[in-house]
Amino acid sequence: MPVRADAGYILGMAKIVVKFGGSNLKTSADLHRSAEVAKAYRRPLVIVVSAFSGVTDSLARALEEAVVSLDSVSAFIAKLEASHREALRDHVSDARELAEVDRGLSDTLNLLDRLLKGVHYIGSIPEYVRDSVLSYGERLSAPVVAAVLRAAGVNAREATPETLGLLTDGVFGNASADITACAASVAKGLEGDHTSVVPGFYGMAPNGRTTIFGRGGSDYTAAVIARCIGAGSLDLWKDVDGFLSCDPRVSPDSHTIPYLSYDEAAELSYFGAKILHPRTVEPLEGDGIPIRVMNVEKFDGRIEPFTVVGPPALGDGRKAGGHADQVVKSIASTEDIAIVRLEGPGVGSRPGILARVTGRLDAAGVNISSVITAQTCINLLFKRADLLPALAALKSEANPGVLAVTPVENLALVAAVGEGIRENCGVAALVIGAVSDAGIGVLLTQAGAGPTAVYLVVRREDRELSVRAVHDACFP
């Protein structure tokens, strides 16, 4: 059931940041519903939008195709133009408005066309070009959404990261916002009694180049803006009933979680829950700005969150230290995991090995998700896409004391998340025991690394059975 909109906190007169993702922008009907949602707030908003559904993936494919085919560029641009202009004409009838937005779309598409043709002529994709091209889904969706809102009677204006001065650290592919440097300019740019529509997913490096916040990064954009303006809340409109105790496709008896702490939400996102970008809570926690998760599929004219993420004062009063099946909030899982094992006698205690390994991986731009060590083995956990670059970096030079560098694939990670897990000695036993009782072998486990999560690694084919077993044990 949804949480009452006034549950335990006051939004006050501060603007609310509302984020519409790709699930809100699939069809013409979705655009209409998003406009109705915005109107239901009955106040000026800051609306952060993702690209239309599927567009970011199509931009990534277009980049690869442009390297080998110039004809593919023109066909792709024409397809993008048609889809966005069709969406515009389904909702906007004013001729002057149509002409103005059409001109803007043409200018944006011309710039994208030049970038893709440049990729073809140089025969490669520089990282700064990749980030710029991938940002065009949001650059195209924002003016269309703003026009649809105006046609619905909302006083809406587009505000881009360029005009707001939304600065990043300049890291391509996975940038972080420089909130200290840009908070004042962002807040000033979003003042006024109108609704601002901001393209998410990207910001501007100090040298003016486009840098993206990683896939799903529009959530992070919205959180950064919420922090900059001191928002009353960050409202995320999704197509699910907030955070659930488990993926309902795996365990049909999963239920909605009315409240999560910032740490719980961050861990669930990190371990595979797709509700939030894993870094969404970072900008908000210090100022106690709540995240409210809505289900757009169940919008009935009211603004009612299904899950609220925020400070303890917003929660349900649950304390750490109770029974294990009362501490766990949710079970998350992911198959996006691979392991490299460094094996040899004494590798776990030999000075300098881990420092050399992590330095080499850092130089190669490879992120380590986790490290689990023993006397004779160091286990490095990565995203699956990072496995081959990690192996190349680790095998590029000999490591004294390391006799074998072995990849392990076809894995899944299952995590139980909840405040108080580290203080409750029964949780790890409950989780591992549930999987063991189901006849599943545990390849690795980690408990106590963080205060809110315990996780284990199993074979990929055992993921769903493991999740169901742990869910049944934690929610009897």
Higher pLDDT: 429 or 38? It is: 38
Burial class (CB in 10 A: 0-12, 13-18, 19+), 175: buried
Higher pLDDT: 439 or 317? It is: 439
State residue 5's pLDDT score.
Answer: 42
State residue 426's pLDDT score.
Answer: 83
Q: Both tokens of residue 226? A: 């919420």
**Are the CB atoms for 89 and 98 separated by under 8 Å?**
yes
Q: Both tokens of residue 365? A: 């731009």
Q: Both tokens of residue 82? A: 């048609």
**Are the CB atoms for 411 and 337 separated by under 8 Å?**
yes
Average pLDDT over the chain reads 91
Of 5-14, 136-145, 188-197, the one with minimum mean pLDDT is 5-14
- Edge-to-edge strand list for the sheet holding 444-450: 330-334, 411-417, 453-459, 444-450
Please report which helix (H) or strand (E) contains residue 172, including its range.
none
In order of start, what are the domains of the chain with their CATH numbers? 16-240+275-314 (3.40.1160.10), 318-476 (3.30.2130.10)
Q: Give the separation between CA 137 and CA 142, rounded to whole angstroms.
A: 9
In the chain, the amino acid numbered 149 is: L
DSSP 10-33: --TTSPEEEEE-GGGSSSHHHHHH
**Are the CB atoms for 232 and 269 separated by under 8 Å?**
no
| Phi, psi (deg, nearest 5) at residue 146 | -60, -40
State residue 78's pLDDT score.
Answer: 96
CA-based nearest residue to 212, from 337, 50, 384: 50
pLDDT in tens, 299-336: 999 999 999 999 875 554 444 334 445 789 999 999 99
State residue 422's pLDDT score.
Answer: 80
Residues of the chain with pLDDT > 70, as a percent, come to: 94
Q: Give the separation between CA 14 and CA 348, rounded to whole angstroms.
A: 52
pLDDT in tens, 143-179: 999 999 999 999 999 999 999 999 999 999 999 999 9
Report the predicted TM-score, pTM, of the whole model to 2 decimal places.
0.89
Residues of the chain with pLDDT > 90, as a percent, come to: 75
Q: Is the pLDDT of residue 8 over 70?
A: no
Q: Is the pLDDT of residue 359 over 60?
A: yes
Of 74-88, 278-292, 353-367, the one with minimum mean pLDDT is 353-367
Q: How many CA atoms lie within 13 A of 15 on its CB side?
A: 27
Per-residue confidence band for 4, with pLDDT thresholds at 50, 70 and 90: very low
State residue 12's pLDDT score.
Answer: 55
CA-based nearest residue to 157, from 136, 143, 137, 138: 143
**Are the CB atoms for 330 and 307 separated by under 8 Å?**
no
Per-residue confidence band for 9, with pLDDT thresholds at 50, 70 and 90: very low
**Are the CB atoms for 443 and 411 separated by under 8 Å?**
yes
Q: Give the separation between CA 460 and CA 129, rounded to whole angstroms.
A: 35
Among all chains, which residue has been given the structure tokens 């488990």?
246
**Are the CB atoms for 60 and 201 separated by under 8 Å?**
no
Q: Give the separation between CA 464 and CA 249, rounded to whole angstroms.
A: 9
Contacting residues for 397 by C-beta, under 8 A, at least 6 apart: 360
Q: Is the pLDDT of residue 277 over 90?
A: no
Q: Quick one: average pLDDT of 245-260?
A: 92
Contacting residues for 114 by C-beta, under 8 A, at least 6 apart: none
Higher pLDDT: 215 or 218? It is: 218
Question: Across 9-104, where does the E strand assignment appear?
Answer: 16-20, 45-49
State residue 2's pLDDT score.
Answer: 57
Q: Give the separation between CA 3 and CA 137, rounded to whole angstroms.
A: 33
State residue 314's pLDDT score.
Answer: 57
Q: Report helix, strand or coil for 197.
A: strand
Per-residue confidence band for 115, with pLDDT thresholds at 50, 70 and 90: very high
State residue 319's pLDDT score.
Answer: 41
Q: Give the separation between CA 76 and CA 240, rounded to whole angstroms.
A: 31
Q: Is the pLDDT of residue 427 over 70?
A: yes
pLDDT in tens, 39-62: 999 999 999 999 999 999 999 999
State residue 447's pLDDT score.
Answer: 83
pLDDT in tens, 387-417: 999 999 998 887 778 889 999 999 999 999 9
Among all chains, which residue has been given the structure tokens 């239901």?
40
Q: Is the pLDDT of residue 203 over 90?
A: yes
For strands 338-343 and 307-310, give the pairing. unpaired
